[in-house]
A and B are shown apart, each in its own frame.
Chain A
Amino acid sequence: MHALLEVSGLRKVYEGSGRRVEAVRDLTFTVDAGELVCLVGPSGCGKTTLLKCVAGLLNPTAGEVLLGGRPVSGPPPGMAVVFQEYGRSLFPWMRVRDNVELPLKQKKLSRSRRRELVDDALTSVGLSDAAGAYPWQLSGGMQQRVAIARALAYEPDVLLMDEPFAAVDAQTRADLEDLVRGLWRERGITILFVTHDIDEAVYLGERVLILSASPTVVQEQLKVDLPVERDQLHTRVAPRFAELRTHVYEQIQAAKRGVPLSKD
């Protein structure tokens, strides 16, 4: 039995104008179907590079990414990406509905099926009444909801999220975190969530992969043994949450210094 997403020995070296940057050295991890995994690491540790390699937007220098046992060499059909820059990822020349629908047209779905998927996705992010608006008429949080709806409607096997809430305010961020948790539980989708925010990683993930500083390797894999039912008010003050976040924090500090901490 294979994991849904397998990343093995992934390495990415950027070459250009005499400079050689090893962004990612050697990454190996798996994500099972239906899992919500958070990738967290110090800033500048190649998280985005990793995600782009997984999404098939960048070719790795070495190693491979398997989605459902098949190697990823370009953007695979079963994957959707939510980018951090929602304002640039949504097309300002299309209304919300058309933005969500465009990828479905590429999938050659029937008109009625497209309509169904778009309505359903917009409803589940709480934006059914904004279908006719342009993205730039919405607040930042709402725009990122549209981007999430677009990903949901696409019905991906794996949903990749690249620091999706880094650019929204704290309150909106909490709402969106709960939205993602809720969607994950309702729909059983597989999510790989990249973030630099330790609290966010622990709050959201069932498992947290801690990355080292660049050149990046997986520093530690941590199972988050918090209850499935989480909420902003109580989970974040639970003693176990504090323990976990402290642990992740220590690991990341160690990663920055370049010393792997022994597991306690």
Chain B
Amino acid sequence: MKDKQLEDARPRSVSPTSGRPGLTNAALGAAGLAGFLAVWEAVPRLGLVEDDFFPPVSRVADALATELSDDTFWTALGDTLTGWAVGLLIAVTAGILTGVVIAVVPYLREATASTIEFLRPIPSVALIPLAVLLYGTELQSVLLLVVYASFWQILIQTLYGVQDVDPVAEETARSYGLGPWARVRHVLWPTALPYVMTGVRLAAAVALILAVTAELVIGAPGLGARIAVAQTSQAVPEMYALVVVTGVLGLLINVGARTVERRALAWHQSVRGEVAV
């Protein structure tokens, strides 16, 4: 009886990707994408827009193929990913540490709240002049913008997360002699983790936007700078091809972040779904 209950209660994924509805969804998704590409191909060919500025998808695909066989494209891609990854890593580390410290040290939350609310809404792109002044077109310029934009995402989520600690869980930990550090590790951190994961996912997307923006505007090496070059040299299909690449990057980053989230939070209600016992 007990075994049966356990068997029945295995965590189930809530995603609709299993069975028939999943298949249907995938088919619909593919059909939608095909429709989009068809419209893209048709609109310039029918002369609805000038194909010098909006080339059909087949020409963009050709340009993309040329890009992919070009070594400098891969260098640019590597530069963009480096700026993204290093910046995100710094932001995640700093955001989580700051959030936990603010939560653990008494009165720090009240003391920092107004400053955080002031600094957070400053758009990262407003710091572009500062970045140029400080670092010119070096990688550090990109990092400054990426870190500034993603840091707040992580910090705010961490702050929400550490507030969510269940008093009963906290009292349980205290009554079993868990010290402050053990409570941070075994109660506070796992409680905050779902929030932190959301923060990381949002920050990963924002970091990519800022990395590309920085390269585009400042001219730091990377995909953004390559897009700018393509634009100024009238290589319109190449420009679109590079834009498509940044879109695909964003997609992959989101899928990757969701996968990590799902793995790390298998125990969490949002992932495990409702368990019927």
Contacts and interface: CB of A to CB of B under 8 A. Distances in A.
Interface of A: 52, 55-57, 74-75, 77, 79-81, 83, 85, 88-89, 91-94, 102-103, 106-107, 129-130, 133-134, 136-140, 142, 150, 154
Given A79-B175, A93-B190, A93-B267, A138 B168 contact: no
A162 to B, nearest CB: 10
B190 A91 contact: yes
Contact of A89 (B10, B168, B268): B168
B11 A77 contact: no
Given A89-B172, A138-B6, A138-B277, 11 more contacts: A52-B171, A75-B177, A91-B186, A92-B269, A94-B267, A103-B178, A106-B176, A134-B267, A137-B9, A138-B5, A150-B176
Interface residues on B, range: 20 to 34
A41 to B, nearest CB: 21
Given A88-B169, A130-B6, A81 B186 contact: no
B15 to A, nearest CB: 19
Interface string B1-42: 011011001110000000000000000000000000000000
For chain B, what secondary structure do more than half of its interface residues adopt (helix, strand, loop), or is it mixed? helix
A56 B174 CA distance: 9
Contact of A103 (B166, B169, B177, B193): B177
A112 to B, nearest CB: 21
Contacts of A107: 177
A103 to B, nearest CB: 4
B127 interface: no
Nearest to B172: A89
A81 B10 contact: no
Contacts of A77: 177
A244 to B, nearest CB: 31
Nearest to B264: A93
Contacts of A133: 6, 9
B76 to A, nearest CB: 41
B187 interface: yes
A196 B120 CA distance: 50
A83 B178 CA distance: 17
B104 to A, nearest CB: 18
Nearest to A89: B172
A130 B2 contact: yes
A83 B171 contact: yes
A134 B171 contact: no
Contacts of A142: 2, 5
B126 to A, nearest CB: 39
Given A57-B171, A91-B186, A129-B2, A106 B178 contact: yes
